[in-house]
Amino acid sequence: MRSVPDRTALAVVALGVAGIGVGAYLTIAHYTGAALACQESSLIDCEAVTTSSYSVVPGTTVPVSVPGLFWAIVVVGLAIALARGAGRCVDLALVAWSAVAMVPVLYLVRAEIAVIYRICLWCTVFHVIVLAVLLLALARLQAAPEPDA
């Protein structure tokens, strides 16, 4: 096994753990009504974003941070499996899991910019984590040797 994919898997573990932290923080803040640690300006306003109709799963009262938290937990599990030498199917699963997560990320970024006209820094951190995991997963997949046919 190459050292580059190993380091990449460990980087994905770290990103997943960071995602768990952000997702848990946003979820706890939602359910407790706690104010987020977020510098407010005319563009940056975490409260406006996290209390908007876009902050919950459509048709529910569940904050979008809950599926985000679940996503990050699965990422950590997949990345740990990769760090321990799991095969190409786990690499593919990580790429697919991250690519699927980009759909709501793009939807939410659009909502922040084009509808709410405010940006949540915590949400942005999570969105960057999703993108970084996808890019690292793609790089890892590309670096992996092809299986024998």
Percent of the chain whose pLDDT exceeds 90 = 79
pLDDT tens digits along 117-145 = 999 999 999 999 999 999 999 998 888 76
Asked whether the predicted pLDDT for residue 109 surpasses 80, the reply is: yes
Hey, where are the domains in the chain? 3-52+64-143
Closest by Cα among 87, 50, 81 to 68: 50
* Banded model confidence at residue 90, pLDDT cuts 50, 70, 90: very high
pLDDT tens digits along 15-68 = 999 999 999 999 999 999 998 998 788 899 999 999 999 999 999 999 999 999
Predicted pLDDT of residue 5: 47
Q: Are 20 and 74 in contact (CB under 8 A)?
A: no
Mean pLDDT across the chain, nearest whole number?
A: 91
Query: Could you name the CATH architecture of 3-52+64-143?
Result: Up-down Bundle (1.20)
Predicted pLDDT of residue 50: 93
